[in-house]
Structure 1
Amino acid sequence: MDDAVRTIQAFLEAVHPYDSLPKDELARVAGSFIRREYPAGTLVYSLGDALEGLFLIKRGGVEVVDRNGALVSLLAPRNTFGERGLMRDGLAVTTARTTEDSVLLTLPKAEFQRLLAQFPAFERFFNRGRSAEGRDPQLATLKVSELIARRPVTCEPATSVAEAAKIMRDTKVSSLGVTEDGKLRGIVTIRDLSNRVLAEGRSPAVPVSQVMTADPVSLTPDALGSDILHLMLERGIGHLPIVEGERLVGMVTQTDLTRFQAVSSAVLIRDVASAESVEEMAAVTARIPQLLVQLIGGNHAHEVVTRLITDIADAVTRRLLQMAEDELGPAPAPYLWLACGSQGRQEQSGVSDQDNCMMIDDGASDADMEYFAKLAKIVSDGLHACGYVYCPGDMMATNERWRQRVSVWRDYFRRWIATPNPEAQMLASVMFDLRPIGGAARLYRDLQEETLAEASKNSIFVAHMVANSLKHTPPLGLIRGFATIRSGEHRHHIDMKHNGVVPVVDLGRVYALMGRIPAVNTRARLLAAGEAGVISHSGARDLVEAFDLIASMRLENQATLVRSGRKPDNFLAPSDLSDFERSHLRDAFVVVRTMQSAVGHNKGALT
């Protein structure tokens, strides 16, 4: 092996997925790369060029622009480019140019395809698609890390048993990890305090080191749920410390196992349907974060997770409608409660406010409208109590503007379409995501068909909706590939909602409008748009894959926050991601930016 190949191999050892290859295979691959030097400003390839292979930056930088000349990415050493063209028909789908004197390594096309076919890790890295099929989160096959319910509660060996009992009482736990300098030394449980202190008549001042179970059996976070079950049954224990090295990272108890098996969307919906009060329902919805953790831990696709979580919100809403009617009496006229926003699209995550409205039969009298005002307040207040907080923009049925007869709603939509000012664009965007939840669905069915037909024929309205869809952009920056928040609580984070999911949601809404597609769910809209020819099959495929990755990483981050004892939110720190994850997330944002550029330049003729 000559020095040049040896240098390339050393470089590849720090680049994923090459670092996953066997050593002899890595040496072979290193010898396949072609090394070239490019002065600053050199055109590497243009849109439509036949690609000779996959490009990897060893030194320098490269800018990638789309077919419209819009910058989609600025790449640095260890970044790869050109793979999208190679995985299609071998033709470049972007244009790449060096931004400084650079050294690029080129992996020949045939060698790239061989690696994809022979090495699963390599194929997974470059295949961004996520399967829509999930699997049930079976307790026995889940990793232990998915079962840890909270941060471990600990005390020191010298802590008195009286103080230990107070800690357990105040933190509502049944065991403490006994640690010294961060290392696990033992475990003390409520049962130990009963059997080894009270039953023996020992003083409450006795240190826990004298009554604890020293050097307890433990597991690591990457063990399986079956390991917990086997150990608990074999040893007759109810508490199992989880350690990394000697450091205690969690405690799994029999209660945790029971809670895990009791939490499923079906169980939560059953409990909601049988709840007799708002307080009972709030106790049910408080279990949603744990459901999120389990669904993510069970490798469910993001659209399955959000659908199951939204189903619970739907069930809560319908139960509240029934409770309101029980309190106020039967509705004096047919009505329909509709959800918009993420609930309307069936895309709720661990963070959701309420967005809703009400359509009422035209035969309702003014006196009848007073009834519906009271009903809306009961339902909205109940949703707020259950964690679906009031909409900051007052997009709720409690606002008289959004609690109207069908004829008024028809007039709303007609005016928004005829005069698409900024407010009309915003309101139309929200209302195009409407989905009936409870009541007379017929009140909306005809209105939806009429609105889609009228809106799609109005080219000015469509153009305004396109412009509105471009207000949220992916966080692609010139430094390390991401533009993060610059100040405040979420400094150096990406907003995975407004700059991640929302740009795709907005595109999906525009495609649905142009194709008169009745689907409200974003993923369903994208797939239907591809089938209807509103966008190309390849464009639809790329955008679906990008959306799958962005939405999945958003949910995974929320599940991570829940596991650490924090409330889920939409802010992700790129620094928390591996090179592998950052690379794919950047690629997904590039796809979204490219599709936005296409819709912005083509308006009425999307490609």
Structure 2
Amino acid sequence: MADSASDIAAFVESVHPYDSLPRDELQRVIRRFEPRRLKGGSKIYALNEHLPGLFLIMDGSVEVRDSSDSLISQLFPRNTLGERGLLADGRAATNARALTDVLLLMLPAAEFTRLMSEHPVYSRFFTRGKSTEIRRSDLAFRKVTDLMSSPPIVCSPDDTVQEAARLMRSHRVSSLCIVKEGRLVGIITTGDLTARVLAEGLEPARTPISAVMTPAPVSLGEGALVSDVFNLMLERRIAHLPISEGERVIGMVTQTDLTRYQATSSASMVSELSRATSATEMSKITARIPHLLVQLVGGNHAHEVVTRLITDIADAATRRLILLAEAELGPPPVPYLWLACGSQGRQEQTGVSDQDNCIFIDDSFVESHREWFDRFARFVSDGLNTCGYVYCPGDMMATNRRWCQPVKVWREYFRHWIETPGPMAQMLASVMFDLRPIAGTAELFRDLQAETLERASRNSIFVAHMIGNSLKHAPPLGLLRGFATMRAGERRNQIDMKHNGVVPVNDLGRVYALMGRLTPVNTRARLLTAEEAAVISQSGARDLIAAYDLIAELRLRNQAAQVKAGARPDNYLGPYDLGEFERSHLRDAFVVVRTMQSALANGRAATF
């Protein structure tokens, strides 16, 4: 756990919202952080204690519990704790202790308060969507339809016990709903088969289900909350609960569903990944990402929270594969830095993601080191593919030697792209401006990033080309307040919420960051920082951020609905499947994006 000044600086610079602060301010804040080492099991703070400041986890893991000692969350590197108390009365609202040996960076309370008052981007990060009330579990406030098994497995009351048992075995379920003429009349569980059939010596092949089922079972409607399930299961001492719509059963909730739902969290998945010993083992963890997406969207989390948590899993998988690669291949011959670009680089991954990555190598590299880096890149990239992050169709991966080079080569790449801004150079520059360090020696990128932003922003021809490149993806607007949907094929009457939805805003954010020499990579953070730096006007930023939020959230909701329906999530949405209200607002959002594109093209970004 390194805690030198340079290590702390490199780490803090990579954490949002600190990466959005002006350079001078960032350096001041870095000096104010106080490193604190604690052994596993040590108390960090206790409920109602005065908080000395905000804690940023640099290494290790922490658990947070409420006043009844119920686990609220497990936190890992880059997570913060203590902000709720500081936002309230300065006293801890929870208990926190180190699960492992940890390295914490403590930002004094006075400094936190100053940043909150002087920097809107910083303030928004810690207040957006947060409540000062600590809830025991967000799960309790979810709708029951978010976790029920659907459709339910049913049988007739006239079926035999043996037929029911075989049905349960074939579907791998522990209960069946007994339905007669479309109406729920009973329920049978594996426990009933043991207690009411085997223990009583009944013949399964001759005994009808009606003789051993629980008749007229209690059920809940589709509008019930998970807290209603908890309460009813505890009150009635039952483990299976049908969910109905009128008299028609539409699903089943079991204690196993509740346990599985609670276990599916980004924190638990990151923790499991950190202990995995192979890519195959990791793939079983990342396979739960679609269910996590449903859970997060169902909890009404903001889109930037959902995509950040999903990206955290990709980061953890990448870092674990890097450690496994070094364990197999031996230590690297020279220092290196693994970076992500694309949606992972911007921390905007959804339920559909390929891999985009590269390696910066220290300039002491010689060609005799190439074999190690070839094998290293292949190990990590193959492992990511196994985990569901499929190979990039454009080969923007570290396995391509073009993207695994010493820093001096990368510096020449950026110089050439900026000085000779052709179409290919523009495309590559757009991808590489979204780079974010994942593991390795961060100093290999930090100076190059600042140098490239300065050089690029001073080249008016390059900026003009970048603006032109950002206008290639147009919002799907049609005539007469309609949408420009696809006209044929399996995607007929649908729109691409990635390439014609979020990508145009990604492109705008990238250009604003270039114009203002802004270091954030995340699109929303870029827009907020661009507003603060007056690259775009306050009204223009407000409208564009609102439009982006709506587009991104509808994209995620559509993916979650696809997962719940048993389909693979994708980026295609049928706008005419939406209600009139949502459809109208979506179109208005696309109009805002097009207007901002026009303003940028006409050189009016800062005045719109």
Q: Could you say whether these structures have the same fold, taking a TM-score greater than 0.5 normalized by the shorter chain as the test? A: yes
Q: Following TM superposition, by how much is the alpha carbon of 1:462 offset from its aligned partner in structure 2, in angstroms?
A: 1.1
> What is the SS of the residue equivalent to 1:602?
coil
Residues in 1 aligned to 2:234 and 2:606: alpha-carbon distance in whole angstroms: 64
> What is the SS of the residue equivalent to 2:244?
strand
**Contact kept? 2:527, 2:545, Cα under 8 Å:** yes
Q: Following TM superposition, by how much is the alpha carbon of 1:315 offset from its aligned partner in structure 2, in angstroms?
A: 0.7
Aligned to 1:167: 167
**Contact kept? 1:377, 1:398, Cα under 8 Å:** yes
**Contact kept? 1:134, 1:304, Cα under 8 Å:** no
> What is the SS of the residue equivalent to 2:509?
helix
2:279 equivalent to 1:250 = no
Q: Following TM superposition, by how much is the alpha carbon of 1:207 offset from its aligned partner in structure 2, in angstroms?
A: 4.0
In structure 1, give the amino acid aligned to 2:432. M
Q: Following TM superposition, by how much is the alpha carbon of 1:419 offset from its aligned partner in structure 2, in angstroms?
A: 1.4
> What is the SS of the residue equivalent to 2:293?
helix
Aligned to 1:410: 411
Name the structure, 1 or 2, with higher relative contact order (CA <8 Å, separation 6+).
Answer: 1
> What is the SS of the residue equivalent to 1:321?
helix
Greater C-alpha radius of gyration? 1
**Contact kept? 1:151, 1:564, Cα under 8 Å:** no
Q: Following TM superposition, by how much is the alpha carbon of 1:517 offset from its aligned partner in structure 2, in angstroms?
A: 0.7
Q: Following TM superposition, by how much is the alpha carbon of 1:166 offset from its aligned partner in structure 2, in angstroms?
A: 2.9
2:143 equivalent to 1:133 = no
User: 1:354-399 CA distances to partner (integer Å, 9 max, x unpaired)?
Assistant: 1111111111121211101111111111111111111111111111
Q: Following TM superposition, by how much is the alpha carbon of 1:603 offset from its aligned partner in structure 2, in angstroms?
A: 7.5
CA, structure 1 residues 487+198, in 2 after alignment: closer, same or farther (shift >3 Å)? farther
**Contact kept? 1:148, 1:563, Cα under 8 Å:** no
Residues in 1 aligned to 2:505 and 2:216: alpha-carbon distance in whole angstroms: 52
User: 1:175-200 CA distances to partner (integer Å, 9 max, x unpaired)?
Assistant: 22233454433322222222333333
Aligned to 2:5: none
Q: Following TM superposition, by how much is the alpha carbon of 1:526 offset from its aligned partner in structure 2, in angstroms?
A: 0.5
Aligned to 1:291: 292
Aligned to 2:237: 236
Aligned to 2:193: 193
**Contact kept? 1:178, 1:185, Cα under 8 Å:** yes
Q: Following TM superposition, by how much is the alpha carbon of 1:548 offset from its aligned partner in structure 2, in angstroms?
A: 0.8
Q: Following TM superposition, by how much is the alpha carbon of 1:416 offset from its aligned partner in structure 2, in angstroms?
A: 1.1
Q: Any residues of structure 2 matched to 1:154-553 within 5 Å, and which? A: 154-199=154-199, 200-204=201-205, 206-478=207-479, 481-553=482-554
> What is the SS of the residue equivalent to 2:484?
coil
In structure 1, give the amino acid aligned to 2:541. A
CA, structure 1 residues 180+292, in 2 after alignment: closer, same or farther (shift >3 Å)? same
**Contact kept? 1:217, 1:240, Cα under 8 Å:** yes
**Contact kept? 1:463, 1:604, Cα under 8 Å:** no
Q: Following TM superposition, by how much is the alpha carbon of 1:458 offset from its aligned partner in structure 2, in angstroms?
A: 1.3
Aligned to 1:102: none
In structure 1, give the amino acid aligned to 2:390. V
Residues in 2 aligned to 1:407 and 1:596: alpha-carbon distance in whole angstroms: 35
Q: Following TM superposition, by how much is the alpha carbon of 1:479 offset from its aligned partner in structure 2, in angstroms?
A: 5.3
Residues in 1 aligned to 2:391 and 2:164: alpha-carbon distance in whole angstroms: 41
**Contact kept? 1:134, 1:301, Cα under 8 Å:** no
How many residue pairs align between the two structures? 477
Aligned to 1:569: 570
- For structure 2, which runs of at least 5 residues remain unmatched after alignment? 1-126
In structure 2, give the amino acid aligned to 1:222. G
Q: Following TM superposition, by how much is the alpha carbon of 1:563 offset from its aligned partner in structure 2, in angstroms?
A: 2.0
Residues in 2 aligned to 1:605 and 1:546: alpha-carbon distance in whole angstroms: 18
Residues in 2 aligned to 1:527 and 1:599: alpha-carbon distance in whole angstroms: 17
CA, structure 1 residues 479+179, in 2 after alignment: closer, same or farther (shift >3 Å)? farther
**Contact kept? 1:152, 1:248, Cα under 8 Å:** yes
Residues in 2 aligned to 1:521 and 1:267: alpha-carbon distance in whole angstroms: 24
Residues in 2 aligned to 1:507 and 1:263: alpha-carbon distance in whole angstroms: 34
2:140 equivalent to 1:144 = no
> What is the SS of the residue equivalent to 2:519?
coil
Range moving further from structure 2, 456-465 or 178-187:
178-187
> What is the SS of the residue equivalent to 1:163?
helix
CA RMSD of aligned residues (A): 1.9
CA, structure 1 residues 433+178, in 2 after alignment: closer, same or farther (shift >3 Å)? same
CA, structure 1 residues 281+486, in 2 after alignment: closer, same or farther (shift >3 Å)? same
Residues in 2 aligned to 1:182 and 1:454: alpha-carbon distance in whole angstroms: 70
> What is the SS of the residue equivalent to 1:303?
helix
Q: Following TM superposition, by how much is the alpha carbon of 1:134 offset from its aligned partner in structure 2, in angstroms?
A: 5.0
TM-score (norm 1): 0.75
Residues in 1 aligned to 2:386 and 2:181: alpha-carbon distance in whole angstroms: 42
> What is the SS of the residue equivalent to 2:467?
helix
Residues in 1 aligned to 2:570 and 2:398: alpha-carbon distance in whole angstroms: 26
Residues in 2 aligned to 1:171 and 1:157: alpha-carbon distance in whole angstroms: 18
TM-score (norm 2): 0.75
User: 1:191-228 CA distances to partner (integer Å, 9 max, x unpaired)?
Assistant: 22223333333233544344332322111121111211
Aligned to 2:84: none
- For structure 1, which runs of at least 5 residues remain unmatched after alignment? 1-130
**Contact kept? 1:143, 1:224, Cα under 8 Å:** yes
Task: Calculate percent identity across the aligned residue pairs.
Answer: 65
Q: Following TM superposition, by how much is the alpha carbon of 1:170 offset from its aligned partner in structure 2, in angstroms?
A: 2.8
**Contact kept? 2:218, 2:242, Cα under 8 Å:** yes
Q: Following TM superposition, by how much is the alpha carbon of 1:480 offset from its aligned partner in structure 2, in angstroms?
A: 5.3
CA, structure 1 residues 221+458, in 2 after alignment: closer, same or farther (shift >3 Å)? same
In structure 2, give the amino acid aligned to 1:546. A
User: 1:73-113 CA distances to partner (integer Å, 9 max, x unpaired)?
Assistant: xxxxxxxxxxxxxxxxxxxxxxxxxxxxxxxxxxxxxxxxx
Residues in 1 aligned to 2:230 and 2:470: alpha-carbon distance in whole angstroms: 50
Residues in 1 aligned to 2:322 and 2:456: alpha-carbon distance in whole angstroms: 32
> What is the SS of the residue equivalent to 1:256?
helix
In structure 2, give the amino acid aligned to 1:270. S
In structure 2, give the amino acid aligned to 1:142. R
Q: Following TM superposition, by how much is the alpha carbon of 1:605 offset from its aligned partner in structure 2, in angstroms?
A: 6.6
Q: Following TM superposition, by how much is the alpha carbon of 1:165 offset from its aligned partner in structure 2, in angstroms?
A: 2.5
Residues in 2 aligned to 1:182 and 1:347: alpha-carbon distance in whole angstroms: 44
CA, structure 1 residues 180+391, in 2 after alignment: closer, same or farther (shift >3 Å)? farther
CA, structure 1 residues 336+606, in 2 after alignment: closer, same or farther (shift >3 Å)? farther
> What is the SS of the residue equivalent to 1:357?
strand
Q: Following TM superposition, by how much is the alpha carbon of 1:606 offset from its aligned partner in structure 2, in angstroms?
A: 6.5
